[in-house]
Structure 1
Amino acid sequence: MIKKTHSAYYGAAFLMATSAIGPGFLTSTTLFTSKLLASFGFAILISILIDVIAQVTIWRIITVTNKPAQVIANELYPGLGNFLSLLIILGGMVFNIGNIAGCGMGLQVLFGIDLATGALWSAGLSIIVFLIKDAGKAMDWFAKILGMIMIVLTIYVAFSSHPPILEAIHKTIVPDQIDVMSIITIVGGTVGGYITFAGAHRLLEAGVCGSDNLKEVDRSAFTAIGIASVMRILLFLASLGVVMQGLSIDENNPAASVFQLAAGNLGYKFFGIVIWSAAVTSVVGASYTSISFAESYHPLIEKYKRYCIVAFIIVATLVFVFYGKPVKVLIFAGALNGFILAFSIGIMLVAATKKRIMNSYTHPKMLFVLGGIVSVLLFIFGGVTLFNELQKVIG
């Protein structure tokens, strides 16, 4: 039983982390590094602090109440949970279109097949994960294995680019410039929208709940943020090393050019593996979490959950195959999910003040205050960023 519980904690951590590490994650990190250079380290540092506050707050409240986020929101105010679910599902679908595109890019780099074919094959593999009898366990192992592969390969590329580590550390503490948009975008792409709920809802499904498990829930949340942050830092160092050598990053495919410039053709192939792993695990995470929110709409969705997840993957794949052009959509999704995160934290914090919802649990005051500050700041700056990105997509 203990072994099973520990497996659930780490499975939830990797599910959240690999959900965060998608094509948009790779693209935004390399682009912002090329723009801000070593000062981007400051944005990463601030985003990690925000991520921890958001993640621990939401995971604690969900697992203590033993209720998914939309149920908590509906208990707070009837219909609020349905609205939250709609936002999460919308953000998850938009991200999934980009994730499917990333899958196609990865297989194109590795095997030379066209994007649509690569996307279809990857969607098929994602569907198989959910058709396995013990889909939860399969999903956990899928996330763990591919997550470790991504980290190992990116470590190799980061060292190959010979980044100025001391300068990166210095500018992380004392940056030359502070770019608010970069912070909002990477926060939205790391724990925004559906992402922060992925691990918490997975813990609920595994039966991990109640105040007795809070210590392990916190550890799982910290592990999730740690994995995603390590990947972000490695990618930042790899990109910084390339840029500081005076090499030019291709804006059409920035992450691919970083891997290739740092480690040659081998690095380019590594990029194929990394982006495919990042994309396909994000497809799994986005689909699973989005449908976990859709369950509140009708009992049949809960009864046929795995088939609804399959349908979610198929729809995202078809949209990509027939529409394409996921880059603008991915950037918009990051801004949208940052705004959704502000809304989500706000709901959870208000729910934390209601004894009828929380019973005997009292949310730590410091975490409550910090969560409130994060929610307000993300709401203001996320709203402005979302508006600006929406204008670009429409334009």
Structure 2
Amino acid sequence: MATSAVGPGFLTQTTVFTQQLAASFGFVILISILLDIGAQMNIWRIITVSERRAQDIANLVFPGLGFLLAGLIILGGLAFNIGNIAGAGLGMNVLFGISPEIGALISAIVAIVIFLVREAMKAMDRFTQILGILMIGLTMYVLFTAKPPIGEAAVKTFVPDSIDMLAIVTLVGGTVGGYITFAGGHRLLDAGIKGKEAIKDVTKSSITAIGVASFMRIVLFLAALGVVAKGLTLDPSNPPASVFQLAAGDMGYKLFGIVMWAAAITSVIGAAYTSVSFIRTFHPKLETFHRWIIIGFIIISTGVFVSIGKPVKILILVGALNGLILPIALGVMLVAAYKRKIVGDYKHPIWMTIFGVLVVASMSYMGIYTLVNQLPKLFT
């Protein structure tokens, strides 16, 4: 889940909003972390206790709702995956000088091979863990070279100069929106971690996953803040690359290539796996051939990128739209938590329900506000 969240959109969104909000972006990160935890703890726990995937839970809450949820998740996952493939191509371009299109094709082949090996799920887990550690380590190096004003960031995290709802919705959408939170929940089921006896481990795992993604967000924010605070201008065509290059020179630019490719390829794998997991239970044939459907998902994403490309604004838009999916998905899970035919004799904690309802209400309000008032500004 954590490496699915940390993709090209994650890198781009964090850098763009740091440039716009400076140290006050720390407040946005803090609020988004609280919302992320409230959403993910509820969703993972209900999936685990019910021992069902989200689409099946939704269909039991209201017939046909699971198909709607699956459609929203798959469309959002496909849109994100086009950006993920593009990011992988860009990373290869920085590292080896090949065109982003060729780099995307090579990266797609790497992802496909992972799903073709006999122990595909174990290979996927190990591959994403190693690259996740690598991403954090390299970004921390850039953070230390950037020398950000940490004191100012700490103060503005609690007393911001301004509050940007678009930034909050986009960050939550890019961390637990759309397919991303289900990347962990559904993977737990496939790994056999389910039932009431797994609640303690699942709760710990859900918070740890948010912690890993949030730590990467904070490190990148501080690195970008160090660059912005010096009055340096980021390249609007590739803001995160500018952070690495301006902070650590040509070596920093190469490090960016590694971080971008690692972030992108792990997100390609997570998006493809999770999106397809939303249709596997609809028909036995889909379950039988799900691995080939995943490969087809990756091929389609790659084909669209090679044909069209990826503007920075689209990555921000997709994150915001995924944030709009979250209230629907979480709302369905909270209703399911109180249906015996779904969770049996399990009793969902009242405090978690209240936490979840607050997340649904706040994300619904901010999402609608953003959709009506601010998203159009991205394209003017």
Same fold (TM over 0.5): yes
Once the 2 structures are TM-superposed, how far is the Cα of residue 167 of structure 1 from its aligned partner? 1.0
1:321 to 306, 330, 335: 306
Once the 2 structures are TM-superposed, how far is the Cα of residue 362 of structure 1 from its aligned partner? 1.1
CA distance in 1, matches of 2:373, 2:300: 27
Partner of 1:369: 354
Once the 2 structures are TM-superposed, how far is the Cα of residue 379 of structure 1 from its aligned partner? 1.7
Matched, 1:137 2:137: no
Paired residue secondary structure (1:363): coil
Q: Which 4+ stretches in 1 moved above 2 angstroms? A: 325-329, 383-395
Paired residue secondary structure (1:129): helix
Partner of 1:172: 157
Paired residue secondary structure (1:250): coil
Mapping for residues 58-207 of structure 1, pairs under 5 Å: 58-207=43-192
Matched, 1:291 2:292: no
**C-alpha contact (below 8 Å) 1:38/1:172 kept by paired residues:** yes
Once the 2 structures are TM-superposed, how far is the Cα of residue 201 of structure 1 from its aligned partner? 0.3
Q: Give the letter aligned to residue 277 of structure 1.
A: A
**C-alpha contact (below 8 Å) 1:100/1:283 kept by paired residues:** yes
Q: TM-score normalized by structure 1?
A: 0.94
Q: TM-score normalized by structure 2?
A: 0.98
Partner of 1:227: 212
Q: Give the letter aligned to residue 149 of structure 1.
A: L
Partner of 2:25: 40
**C-alpha contact (below 8 Å) 2:13/2:315 kept by paired residues:** no
**C-alpha contact (below 8 Å) 1:97/1:326 kept by paired residues:** no
Partner of 1:52: 37
Partner of 1:357: 342
Q: 1:380 to 1:285 in 2, by over 3 A?
A: same
Once the 2 structures are TM-superposed, how far is the Cα of residue 357 of structure 1 from its aligned partner? 1.1
Once the 2 structures are TM-superposed, how far is the Cα of residue 253 of structure 1 from its aligned partner? 0.7
CA distance in 1, matches of 2:185, 2:45: 8
Partner of 2:367: 382
Summarize deviations over 1:308-327 as a string: whole Å, max 9, x none.
00000000000010111343
CA distance in 2, matches of 1:384, 1:79: 28
Once the 2 structures are TM-superposed, how far is the Cα of residue 283 of structure 1 from its aligned partner? 0.2
Paired residue secondary structure (1:246): coil
Q: Which runs of 5+ in 2 are unaligned?
A: none
CA distance in 2, matches of 1:109, 1:309: 27
CA distance in 1, matches of 2:133, 2:142: 15
CA distance in 2, matches of 1:329, 1:117: 21
**C-alpha contact (below 8 Å) 1:48/1:229 kept by paired residues:** yes
Q: Give the letter aligned to residue 315 of structure 1.
A: I
Summarize deviations over 1:219-277 as a string: whole Å, max 9, x none.
11111001100100000000000111111111111100000000111110000000100
CA distance in 2, matches of 1:394, 1:296: 38
CA distance in 1, matches of 2:207, 2:121: 21
Summarize deviations over 1:101-143 as a string: whole Å, max 9, x none.
0001000000010011000000000000100111110010011
Q: Give the letter aligned to residue 183 of structure 1.
A: I
Q: Give the letter aligned to residue 179 of structure 1.
A: D
**C-alpha contact (below 8 Å) 1:127/1:313 kept by paired residues:** yes
Summarize deviations over 1:289-318 as a string: whole Å, max 9, x none.
000002133221111111000000000000
Partner of 1:3: none
CA distance in 2, matches of 1:73, 1:207: 21
Q: Give the letter aligned to residue 230 of structure 2.
A: Q
Q: 1:394 to 1:81 in 2, by over 3 A?
A: farther
Q: Give the letter aligned to residue 178 of structure 1.
A: I
Paired residue secondary structure (2:302): helix
Q: Which runs of 5+ in 1 are unaligned?
A: 1-15
**C-alpha contact (below 8 Å) 1:39/1:171 kept by paired residues:** yes
Q: 1:270 to 1:48 in 2, by over 3 A?
A: same
CA distance in 2, matches of 1:355, 1:232: 38
CA distance in 2, matches of 1:113, 1:235: 26
CA distance in 1, matches of 2:373, 2:178: 18
Matched, 1:343 2:334: no
Once the 2 structures are TM-superposed, how far is the Cα of residue 390 of structure 1 from its aligned partner? 6.5
**C-alpha contact (below 8 Å) 1:335/1:389 kept by paired residues:** no
1:312 to 297, 304, 314: 297
CA distance in 2, matches of 1:24, 1:61: 28
**C-alpha contact (below 8 Å) 1:72/1:357 kept by paired residues:** yes
Q: Give the letter aligned to residue 271 of structure 1.
A: F
Matched, 1:26 2:16: no
CA distance in 1, matches of 2:314, 2:26: 25
Percent pairwise identity: 59
**Count of aligned positions:** 380
